[in-house]
Amino acid sequence: MILPDHEIKKLLKEGRLRIEPLDDPENQIQPAWVDLRLGNEFVVFKVTGTPYIDTRKETKGYSEKITISEDRPFIIHPGEFVLGKVMEYISVPDDLVGSVDGRSSLGRLGIVVHTTSSSVNPGWDGHLVLEMANVGKMPVALYPGMRVCKITFHKMTSPAEVPYSKRKNAKYKNQMEIVNSRMHEDTDVQDS
């Protein structure tokens, strides 16, 4: 079951669900989701002499963090893949699952927002990191503060037994800034 606007508002008022700051609830809270805004931090990937990214090793030297001023655009070029952070801090209760999706208005310009892993675990908290790509033919200006994606909330039949916040191997718990892939920490890709 997807939560409608009035249930989202109720959970926010009770403090069970946190989305902060929610500066424009009239525009951000839609009938079945909440629009989230783009922050001003990005991670861009560099072209290097390394022949490939090894998923068993930490990804150092492949990317660069960029912070832009609030009044400047971030230009995403055709074929470019970047990580971006939403402005809002989100805390999901143990009995809800979030689902992140891009906005169709940006999709119609060739911008794919959050290309994989759209689910937000019960008990997760922090700033969502978006995986964004320009699959169009023209560069596109993205501005801090613009509504860039949406999050829906799905009610579970009962709270998670071990929510994300209580998992020992939770790689992106309390995420406050853009964190590069921690794939190398997965036990199924480690050397035997």
Task: Please provide the DSSP assignment of 128-144 as one string.
Answer: EEEEEEE-SSS-EEE-T
Name 38's bridge partners: 86
CA distances from 132 to 10, 16, 27, 89 (A): 31, 29, 23, 19
| Calpha distance 15→93 (Å, rounded) | 10
Could you give the residue numbers annotated as active site? 131
Pairing of strands 34-45, 63-67: antiparallel
CA distances from 129 to 108, 149, 158, 174 (A): 21, 11, 27, 12
Q: Dihedral of the CA atoms 153, 155, 160, 166 (nearest 10)?
A: 20
